[in-house]
């Protein structure tokens, strides 16, 4: 992984290069970035640059023996630590990162270094077990730290999702993290620093990884996924700064279009009732019910996805109604639909709308009859939007 290929602010990369070149890089860094950021890619690129035999122009050479090993994440001085658990093939009291290294490398390559914890949980097929960085992982770090580096250079430990490190593991790592052997670099990657033990935090230097901009995501969707400029711009607008989510949205594009159609049918019926409750033809509740029936047949996950989609659009409606158009995260198609109904959304009905969505999601999750849930939701929505 070259530094030039990392989706991170160029100034931040230059700062890292300057620190490495001047031998002033801290031995323990905490890279704090949201899911879907390129913090894992940045950590690998820094490690590759640090170990490169012929670095030049602020980047690794890509052709030396060290760089070739980094290309496959198989450099002997690169140690990857990540959340894991017992599986059908690895007993719970024997699990550690090394037992799942091939699966993790494949996961990294499949996701182009944009790592998402929930995706890794699904890949582990953990049967609802809690993934953690355990004491065996940190015991491995301690033992490796006392050995000589393969290349006579740096030993580098990348700890992905450091907030998943349990207390026993963290306590075992403390002394090594504070007083490592010479030429040792710890790169801890996390999304939630408040879940990391204060004793670990105090031994690391915090570096915040900026969220990806819409423009960066748009450009890479065009390059990596061969999307049109409009398609890439629409997906980037609702990706919330996550390239992982942006790539997932490509697969869900047809579902989003379906949800928007249902949203339009639902809001048109509700708002027509508010304007004229006696005009049954314009209210057309039977059409709403028919579409709800179709959604129910799609299953509970689709139903919850639709309700979460509604919540996002309701938030955007509120922003539009309060002249906050610049903050709206919507596709161009969504924006047109939102503009039709924004006048029905106010600060007064924002909280009831949120509660209605959350209650419906809860009931769907608890296996309440879905037809009843959506019928109740329809009439709640009608009452809430009638209140201004």
pLDDT tens digits for 90-111?
Answer: 888 889 999 999 999 999 998 8
Q: Is the pLDDT of residue 341 over 90?
A: yes
State how far the Cα of 115 lies from the Cα of 245, in Å rounded to an integer. 10
User: Which range among 6-10, 14-18, 353-357 shows the weakest confidence by mean pLDDT?
Assistant: 6-10
3: DSSP letter: G
367: DSSP letter: T
Q: Is the pLDDT of residue 147 over 90?
A: no
Cβ 187 vs Cβ 159: under 8 Å: yes
Q: What is the mean pLDDT of residues 263-282?
A: 93
In DSSP terms, 159 is beta-bridged to 81, 188
Q: Is the pLDDT of residue 265 over 90?
A: yes
CA distances (Å), origin 311, targets 37, 90, 114, 356, 360: 24, 41, 26, 9, 11
Closest of 236, 239, 19, 246 to residue 112, by C-alpha:
246
pLDDT of residue 219: 87
Cβ 12 vs Cβ 43: under 8 Å: no
Q: Is the pLDDT of residue 134 over 70?
A: yes
Task: Return the percent helix, strand and coil in the chain, to nearest 5.
Answer: 60, 10, 30
Q: What is the mean pLDDT of residues 60-77?
A: 94
Closest of 324, 365, 368 to residue 342, by C-alpha:
324
Closest of 21, 23, 28, 22 to residue 179, by C-alpha:
28
Cβ 179 vs Cβ 205: under 8 Å: no
Of residues 119 and 307, more confidence is placed in 307
State how far the Cα of 316 lies from the Cα of 338, in Å rounded to an integer. 8
Residue 182 pLDDT class (50, 70, 90 cuts): confident
Q: What is the mean pLDDT of residues 352-380?
A: 93
Q: Is the pLDDT of residue 126 over 70?
A: no
Tell the burial category of 121 from Cβ atoms under 10 Å away from its Cβ (0-12, 13-18, 19+). Answer: middle
User: How far does Cα 165 stand from its chain's mean position?
Assistant: 19
Helix (H, G, I), strand (E, B) or coil at 158: strand
Q: What is the mean pLDDT of residues 303-321?
A: 91
State how far the Cα of 211 lies from the Cα of 246, in Å rounded to an integer. 13
Q: What is the mean pLDDT of residues 155-172?
A: 93
Structure tokens at 61: 């050479």
Closest of 154, 160, 213, 149 to residue 42, by C-alpha:
160
State how far the Cα of 213 lies from the Cα of 243, in Å rounded to an integer. 10
Q: Is the pLDDT of residue 195 over 80?
A: yes
Other CB atoms within a 10 A radius of the CB of residue 312 amount to 16
Which one of 120-134, 242-256, 270-284 scores highest in mean pLDDT? 270-284
Return mean pLDDT, the chain.
89
Residue 128 pLDDT class (50, 70, 90 cuts): low
pLDDT of residue 362: 93
Q: What is the mean pLDDT of residues 136-150?
A: 89
In DSSP terms, 59 is beta-bridged to 56
Closest of 280, 242, 13 to residue 119, by C-alpha:
242
User: Which range among 48-52, 150-154, 289-293 shows the weakest confidence by mean pLDDT?
Assistant: 150-154
Q: At what angle do helices 229-237 and 243-251 cross, to 10 degrees?
A: 120
User: Per DSSP, which regions of 6-48 are E strands?
Assistant: 28-32
Q: Is the pLDDT of residue 127 over 80?
A: no
Q: What is the mean pLDDT of residues 120-132?
A: 80
Helix (H, G, I), strand (E, B) or coil at 368: coil
Q: Is the pLDDT of residue 388 over 70?
A: no
Closest of 291, 276, 277, 304 to residue 367, by C-alpha:
304
């Amino acid at each position: 992984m070259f530094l030039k290929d990392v989706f991170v602010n160029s100034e931040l990369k230059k700062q890292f290069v300057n620190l490495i070149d001047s031998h002033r890089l801290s031995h323990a860094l905490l890279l704090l970035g949201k899911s879907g950021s390129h913090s894992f890619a940045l950590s690998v690129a820094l490690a590759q640059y640090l170990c490169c035999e012929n670095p030049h122009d602020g980047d690794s050479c890509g052709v030396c023996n060290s760089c070739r090993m980094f290309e496959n994440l198989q450099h002997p001085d690169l140690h990857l630590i990540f959340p894991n658990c017992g599986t059908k093939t690895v007993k719970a009291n024997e699990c550690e990162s090394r037992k799942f290294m091939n699966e993790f490398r494949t996961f990294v390559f499949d996701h182009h270094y944009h790592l998402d914890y929930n995706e890794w949980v699904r890949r582990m097929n953990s049967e609802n077990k809690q993934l953690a960085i355990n004491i065996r992982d940190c015991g491995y770090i301690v033992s490796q730290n006392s050995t000589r580096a393969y290349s006579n250079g740096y030993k580098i430990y990348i700890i992905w999702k450091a907030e998943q490190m349990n207390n026993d593991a963290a306590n075992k790592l403390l002394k090594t993290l504070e007083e490592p052997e010479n030429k040792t670099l710890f790169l801890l990657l996390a999304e939630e620093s408040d879940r990391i033990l204060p004793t670990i935090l105090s031994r690391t230097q915090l570096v915040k990884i900026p969220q990806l901009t819409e423009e960066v995501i748009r450009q890479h969707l065009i390059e990596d996924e061969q999307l049109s400029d409009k398609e890439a711009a629409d997906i980037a607008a609702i990706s919330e700064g996550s390239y992982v989510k942006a790539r997932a949205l490509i697969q869900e594009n047809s579902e989003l279009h379906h949800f928007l159609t249902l949203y339009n049918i639902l809001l048109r019926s509700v708002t027509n009732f508010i304007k004229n409750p006696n005009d049954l033809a314009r209210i057309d509740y039977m059409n709403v019910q028919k579409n709800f029936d179709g959604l129910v047949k799609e299953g509970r996950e689709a139903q919850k996805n639709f309700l979460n989609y509604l919540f996002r659009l309701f938030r955007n409606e509120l922003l539009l109604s309060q002249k906050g158009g610049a903050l709206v995260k919507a596709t161009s198609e969504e924006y047109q639909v939102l503009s039709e109904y924004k006048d029905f959304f106010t600060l007064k009905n924002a909280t009831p709308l949120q509660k209605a969505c959350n209650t419906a999601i809860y009931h769907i999750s608890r296996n309440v009859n879905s037809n009843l849930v959506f019928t109740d939701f329809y009439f709640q929505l009608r009452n809430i939007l009638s209140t201004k």
